[in-house]
Amino acid sequence: MCKFAVLGNPIKHSKSPLIYNIFASLTNIKCSKYTKILASKDNFDIIVNNFFINGGLGMNITAPFKEHAVKLCNNISYISNITKVVNVIKKQKDGTLFGDNTDGVGLINDLIRLKLLEYNNNILLIGAGGVAKIIVMFLLSYGCKVFITNRNIDRVVDLYDFYKQLNSMYNIVLLPIQHINKYNYDLVINATPVVLNISKMKLSNTIKKTAKFYDLYYHKNYKSVLLKRYKEKISYYDGIGMLIYQAAYSFFLWHGVYPPVSLTLKYFNR
């Protein structure tokens, strides 16, 4: 019997099981239910290994384990090899574990769907964790200039150094939070769950009237906090679309069938 799961901490809020079940229904894939697994830094390795030893076939990895998950894979994709970030694992026929990352392609697909992305856009990226490392690569490939800020500037410096090694730093600007008002942005992307810090940023002074705000997170509270402060200047979009697109590529990796994303989006009124 098929076994699939999503693992993270926290995990209660995850919509991945619902999305997976919708995909399975729309593609007539017959599998056991997709489950949520709460893990900690101390038991992450044990949980993942036991899951696949006991018949697991596929697992999504969410925060804060995406970078650590690379170590548990026997083989990884090109994008995961460069970034050292994994958000999906597949058990192959020979029993080895293959890791990949679908965050970047998921984000770009949703930004294109929403008509939020244009060549040479100035994009402010808030956050410098594992998901930021992935999406910066895709935004650069689209010709965008990416301004990166984070409450911990050391993480931003680490991210910049990473791209410097790839000779891709020419379109990246490091910004301490207190300096974000130096530039104008076409699009703001939130890649951190620390909403209170974001809500204190004086973005209204620097965002164009036509600018958009894309939030990788999709909880009600995130939207309300941001809109209360910037409701007259920001068109807000949450990350449900990205979640569905990246999940679709995971589903394809596991089953060899790409699910109908447009139909799935309708389940979430998108």
Q: Which residues are catalytic?
A: 66
Whole-angstrom Cα distance, residue 57 to residue 223? 35
Residue 157, token pair as written in the block: 């410096």
User: CB under 8 Å to 165, separation ≥6 — which residues?
Assistant: none
Q: Which residue has the tokens 């939070």?
A: 177
DSSP the chain: ---EEEEESS-TT--HHHHHHHHHHHHT---PPEEEEE--TTTHHHHHHHHHHTT--EEEE-TT-TTGGGGG-SEE-HHHHHH---SEEEE-TTS-EEEE--HHHHHHHHHHHTT---TT-EEEEE--SHHHHHHHHHHHHTT-EEEEE-SSHHHHHHHHHHHHHTT-GGGEEE--GGGGGGS-EEEEEE--S-HHHHHTS-GGGTEEEEEEEEES---HHHHHHHHHHHTTT-EEEETHHHHHHHHHHHHHHHHS----HHHHHHHTT-
Alpha-carbon distances, residue 73 vs 6, 52, 88, 93, 97 (angstroms):
16, 11, 10, 14, 5
